Structure 1
Amino acid sequence: MMSKTARVAEKPRPEWGSDVIVEMLKAFEIEYVSLNPGSSYRGLHDSLINYGGNLMPEVILCPHEEIAVGVAHGYARAKGKPMAAAVHNVVGLQHASMAIYNAWCDRLPVIVLGGTGPTDTAHRRPRIDWVHTAVVQGNLVRDFVKWDDQPASVEAIPESFIRAYRLATTDPMGPVYVCYDADVQEKKLNGDTYLPSLDRYPAPLPVQAPEEGLDKTVRWLLEAKRPVIITDWVGRNEAGFRSLRDLAELLAIPVFDQNGRFNFPCQHPLNLTGMERTALPQADLVLALDVPDLESSVSRRVQEKGQRGTVNLLPSQAKIINVALDDLLVRAWSHEFNKLRQADLSMLADTSVFLPELVRRLREEQKTLAKINVEVGKRRAEWLKIHDGRNKARDEQTKANWDNKPIALSRLFTELNTVLKNEDWVYTNSTRYGAENLYLDAGKFNQILGKYKG
């Protein structure tokens, strides 16, 4: 029997429309396709195995479409790039819709492939092909995907897939849905080549902040007496993760991690996550980095006699700098875009390029840094006291709850941290409020995959 590697090495010519889909998956180095088999994409399923050799991509069999998209969601969070999930016509897409919405809220790239039809009613089988076909099938998820498409010919497949991949992987990222008509998948090809050169379709360069915004941010940070940083999604890129630490250490700025990604080392002395009520009332400048829900980050919830509300923790004179891209991905149907932010300076910028440039410019301010050095040292010591106080309270609570039954999270994470001390590990799914960050000694990029939204 021929090995998978040998079959792929032969590089056969596409014979069917669905072979072209597999060629595009291979061209973009998609490693896996998670799926629950369905007849509407039997052509694609056949091509994945018999034309593609079940290798790059490899099929992951799942018992339900929501699980299939959930697998792709988790892969995107861990790898920072998409895999594909295939779902069966109308019913499979409805099953998958909750998982697609989760990926949308999490701003993660998932390529959802579907089948439909035949759209040509003359080619349909009685009943089943009718109840499993919609016009246009993408309408079902259009409010919570970045883009959907239903290419009407084999010739249209490459451009459609290239656009889908580029949109899914361009910040702010998100899921896309591409639906393939059964007739298009099962069309017999005449030997023509349909594959364009991907070199002519490069990914767009990341969005950098304008000069005015960078200059103001540098000046305000150097002038501030008690600047703080709030972040939620910076850790999606390693450049942002590393530069955030550099920035915090350079100016002794405490960081409050909202845990959408792993943004800042857990046990770093400037990590004051959980101490917002103590520290934020002292702030005169807030640098909000990729924070979609700034309201909950700078306030505490109150509920009296059934009335829900918030109490702002920031002083009224505190300035706010907001740097994010999430305003580029807003839909009217779902209000996961949160409350409209107030800010004194707002920039649409990718923090993976904004933060390294900000740190570079700050380091060039040698005279000013020397002038404020004593002041920076004092606030570093003051923030350290709050950090140590938090850890002391944590240890006291852990000791008091050690013998609780069922076992307390504080003991669970304390013991887990001891076991993992000399291991190379990744924590895959956060608790609701990120309790693990208080105990685990995590400091590497993507070591904790963050809190799932949706």
Structure 2
Amino acid sequence: MSHSYTTSTAFLEALQEAGVSYLFSNLGSDHPGIIESLAAAKQEGKPLPKVITCPHEMVALSIAHSYAQVTGEPQAVLVHVECGTQNLGGALHNAYKGRVPVLIFAGASPYTQEGELPGSRNEFIHWIQDVPDQRGIVRGYMKYDNEIRTGANVKQLVHRALQISKSQPKGPVYLMGPREVMEEETEPAAVQADKWKPVSPAAMPPEEVDKVVHVLKTAENPVVVTSYLGKNTEAVKELVQFSETYAVPVIESVSNYMNFPADHPMHCGYQWNEPSQHELLEKADVVLVFDSDVPWIPTKNKPSDTSTIYYFDEEPLKESMPLWYVSAEEMYQVDAKTALSQLNKRLIESGIDEGVIAKRWERITRYHQQLCKERDEKEVYQENVITPEYLTACIREAIDDDTIVVNEGISNFDTIYRHLQRTKPGSIIGSGGGSLGWNGGASLGVKLSAKDKKVVNLTGDGSYMFSVPSTVHWMSRKYDLPFLTVIYNNRGWKSPKLSTLGVHPQGTAYQTDNYWVDFEPHADLAGIAQASGGAFAKTVKDPKDVKEALKEAMAAVEEGRSAVLDVYLPAIKEEEKSQKHTYVHGL
């Protein structure tokens, strides 16, 4: 049986030619052309990207998000008209803010209703789902959006969209196509995929390299701050060389990756929302910021007014953030790996004062050792309570360096980085955004992209519920993608309470203990995964059971079954007094 060659066929061919491996799909009445072309290709043995059925769009985009983080290659997400587009929800924000390449395709309601063209309206929903500006729903979160109007140039549109998506700063792109267009017969067209490469990474002007090196050589207390430099594992190597060559301490601010080995003597801690000033940042005379949207929070923690700041980023102006500024001496629109390799080369050529470097190395090493001591003290086992620090230390013992950790711990986000002590580039990732629920789909995406690796998902109870765990664990079983989830369960939304105390430390909410954030009655969170995906499920409330539960869960994952440990930390109400004290003291 012969099948007509349509826009849908050309669209799918373009994705295949561009190196897209998967279509994370939530299909609808706007996709008959796509479905028919996929069926024909399967019948003919023609290679096209593999369809992964995703019962929820948030999960679909989160899978594509983390897959691109691990591999660097964008995948495609297919959703249903404006309803599916809107149901992508916060995953759009995460992909855009996290600078993750992905192509999103949505159909559109047919634009004819009398049968004038193939694909014309034949279901009541086609009138209801017809909206004035479907692309406008996502425009604020896309690097590029366009409508497919003909099959004659659909391949060029796909390749252009992916070229933009993969060029720095990377990000999501959106295409839509009405049914009539996607059903339209067209002629096969050849497009040279190698002519649509992403733009080459940007470098520093030579004279600026000399300027920064000169300032560094006269600095007494230089500091590096970074958040997502580790998205490129090669950049981590350059940062390590830079730090070692000139004994420059590194601070990670709101980390989204393993940016610098945690056990390195120049690693000087993590910062997030805590209301405390970082000593080294305050004393720094030169601060180099590489790849960071929020290098510090000025109301809590910042460099001194006399510090000289150099800012290196793919998009240093942050044009998508209406309020954003850093008082930098110079701002460079550069690729971090490229800029660091330039600085490293020039520093070595210009000569190093070994005496100065040795003294700074010794001083910073002592600071690092003190941080390690304080970390170890917080990990001590307690008989009556499972602290997040102890839990994280147990997880650290249970995994190896090759395990990939997905972190959406939110109120324990910083604790997870601080106590996991990851040292291998690519071994831990965050969403890069602020919309919760990324963790479940992200774990599937990581496992799909690295099937030989163990994947561990660390999440709060709130972010676990946001992740649509029923969909996540159904997909885990269907596609044989086992991973371990550990829920840091304080039975509520801790972060809104902390935000309230940060602004009103002795306000009415504090006085009356009213925050409206507790999750009572408590849900059987692990049971959700067991019911929907056959996962190993266990709730852990006693500290003495933590290590054994982790051992059982890891064994289940190794046998090919996902596992969920719902670990009870001190509940929000139980922490009330200590948190009040912390925030009053901090302010």
Say whether 1:17 aligns with 2:7: yes
Counterpart among 413, 419, 429 of residue 392 in structure 2: 413
Whole-Å separation in 1 of the counterparts to 2:39 and 2:205: 49
Work out the number of aligned pairs and report it. Answer: 418
Partner of 2:447: none
Counterpart among 435, 439, 450 of residue 419 in structure 2: 439
Partner of 2:223: 228
Letter of the 1:290 partner, please give it.
D
Letter of the 1:426 partner, please give it.
I
Partner of 1:291: 292
Q: Deviations over 1:402-422 (max 9, x none)?
A: 3342x222122222222224x
Whole-Å separation in 1 of the counterparts to 2:318 and 2:40: 38
Partner of 2:371: 390
Letter of the 1:272 partner, please give it.
C
Aligned residues with identical type, % of pairs: 27
Q: In structure 1, the residue corresponding to 2:181 is in which secondary structure?
A: helix
| Conservation of the 8 A alpha-carbon contact between 2:407 and 2:416 | no
1:42-53 aligned within 5 A: 42-51=32-41
Letter of the 1:453 partner, please give it.
G
Whole-Å separation in 1 of the counterparts to 2:26 and 2:324: 38
1:50-449 aligned within 5 A: 50-51=40-41, 56-122=48-114, 123-125=120-122, 127-189=124-186, 192-258=187-253, 259-274=255-270, 277-296=278-297, 299=298, 310-327=299-316, 330-331=319-320, 335=321, 339-366=324-351, 369=352, 372-399=353-380, 401-405=381-385, 407-421=386-400, 424-432=402-410, 433-449=413-429
Q: Deviations over 1:328-347 (max 9, x none)?
A: 6623xxx4x65211101111
| Conservation of the 8 A alpha-carbon contact between 2:226 and 2:295 | no
Letter of the 2:331 partner, please give it.
S
Unmatched runs of 5 consecutive residues or more in structure 1: 1-11, 300-309
Whole-Å separation in 1 of the counterparts to 2:408 and 2:368: 21
User: CA separation of 1:312/1:449 partners in 2, compared to 1, >3 Å: closer, same or farther?
Assistant: closer
| Conservation of the 8 A alpha-carbon contact between 1:104 and 1:145 | yes
User: CA separation of 1:194/1:180 partners in 2, compared to 1, >3 Å: closer, same or farther?
Assistant: same
Letter of the 1:88 partner, please give it.
H
Whole-Å separation in 1 of the counterparts to 2:419 and 2:198: 39
| Conservation of the 8 A alpha-carbon contact between 1:255 and 1:272 | yes
Q: In structure 1, the residue corresponding to 2:34 is in which secondary structure?
A: helix
User: CA separation of 1:265/1:364 partners in 2, compared to 1, >3 Å: closer, same or farther?
Assistant: same
| Conservation of the 8 A alpha-carbon contact between 2:41 and 2:47 | no
User: CA separation of 1:444/1:380 partners in 2, compared to 1, >3 Å: closer, same or farther?
Assistant: same
What's the CA shift for 1:326?
2.3
What's the CA shift for 1:311?
4.2
Q: In structure 2, the residue corresponding to 1:107 is in which secondary structure?
A: coil
What is the TM-score with the length of structure 1 in the denominator? 0.87
How big is the alpha-carbon RMSD for the aligned residues of Structure 1 and Structure 2?
A: 2.2
Letter of the 2:157 partner, please give it.
S
Whole-Å separation in 1 of the counterparts to 2:30 and 2:270: 49
User: CA separation of 1:83/1:403 partners in 2, compared to 1, >3 Å: closer, same or farther?
Assistant: farther
| Conservation of the 8 A alpha-carbon contact between 1:105 and 1:453 | yes
Q: Deviations over 1:286-317 (max 9, x none)?
A: 00001112342xx4xxxxxxxxxx04532221
User: CA separation of 1:451/1:97 partners in 2, compared to 1, >3 Å: closer, same or farther?
Assistant: closer
What's the CA shift for 1:164?
0.7
| Conservation of the 8 A alpha-carbon contact between 1:431 and 1:451 | no
Whole-Å separation in 1 of the counterparts to 2:347 and 2:330: 18
Segments of 4+ moved more than 6 angstroms? none
What's the CA shift for 1:253?
0.6
Letter of the 2:374 partner, please give it.
A
Q: In structure 2, the residue corresponding to 1:435 is in which secondary structure?
A: helix
What is the TM-score with the length of structure 2 in the denominator? 0.68
Whole-Å separation in 2 of the counterparts to 1:74 and 1:121: 40
What's the CA shift for 1:229?
0.1
User: CA separation of 1:323/1:374 partners in 2, compared to 1, >3 Å: closer, same or farther?
Assistant: same
